[in-house]
């Protein structure tokens, strides 16, 4: 299946030169009196290398046939991370290179969308925000009420984030998975 440059979305997988790439960013330019160009920041799925590719702006792109399925995060060992399909109970191992920093936002037992190409995991799709529990944080100092004062909090996944002074240990907070920043306190 082919798509035009106007149909590109982030994390879409395409085939270029018989290789599979994941689109991280893109920019379409149509300068006056010149042909349009499409600049893609892509990640080679097999090697993990990230680089830019410039293409003709009107060139159709071939979508890679991928499948997205929910998998439950079970556990990690020294080199890989185990996920399970809850329908078939099939377990798959996903390497740290594919996951990147995603483990900072995943708690054991949580369901995550895994993107598969030819039944092999190539990427995961995190929700835009997640709710995590504060494991450890400093106590607020009385009288320290200047605006936008923050302190460091360690979450149940090991992630350290800056939070407002009113956040305490055992609070649940919402975190943006794209930036890794605090959004709000949650119930």
- pLDDT per residue, tens digit, the chain (187 aa), is 788 777 888 878 888 888 888 888 888 888 888 888 889 998 888 777 888 988 887 888 888 888 889 999 999 887 789 999 988 999 999 888 788 888 899 999 999 998 888 888 888 888 899 999 999 988 876 665 666 788 899 999 999 999 998 888 999 999 999 899 999 998 8
Looking up tokens 């920043």 gives 181
Tell me the CATH number for domain 66-125: 2.40.50.140
Contact indicator for 61, 84 with CB cutoff of 8 Å: no
> Rounded distance, CA 126 to CA 128, Å?
6
Give ranges for CATH 2.40.50.140 in the chain. Answer: 66-125, 129-186
Give ranges for CATH 2.30.30.30 in the chain. Answer: 2-63
150-to-2, 98, 147 alpha-carbon distances in Å:
48, 32, 9
Tell me the CATH number for domain 2-63: 2.30.30.30
Report yes or no on whether pTM surpasses 0.85.
no
Q: Which two tokens stand for residue 150?
A: 């923050």
Class of domain 129-186: mainly beta
> Rounded distance, CA 43 to CA 93, Å?
20
């Amino acid at each position: 299946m082919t798509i035009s440059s106007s149909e590109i979305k982030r994390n879409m997988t395409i085939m270029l030169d018989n290789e599979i790439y994941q689109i991280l960013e893109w920019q379409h330019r149509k300068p006056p009196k010149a042909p349009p160009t499409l600049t893609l920041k892509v990640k080679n799925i097999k090697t993990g290398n990230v680089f830019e590719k410039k293409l003709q702006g009107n060139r159709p792109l071939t979508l890679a046939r991928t499948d997205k399925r929910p998998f439950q995060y079970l556990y990690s060992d020294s080199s890989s991370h185990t996920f399970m399909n809850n329908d078939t109970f099939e377990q798959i191992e996903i390497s740290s290179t594919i996951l990147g920093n995603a483990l900072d936002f995943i708690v054991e037992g949580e369901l995550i969308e895994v993107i598969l190409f030819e039944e092999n995991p190539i990427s995961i799709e995190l929700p835009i925000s997640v709710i995590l529990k504060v494991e450890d944080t400093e106590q607020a100092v009385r009288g320290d009420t200047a605006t936008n004062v923050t302190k460091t909090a360690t979450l149940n996944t090991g992630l350290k984030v800056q939070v407002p002074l009113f956040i305490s240990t055992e609070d649940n907070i919402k975190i943006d998975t794209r930036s890794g920043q605090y959004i709000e306190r949650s119930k």
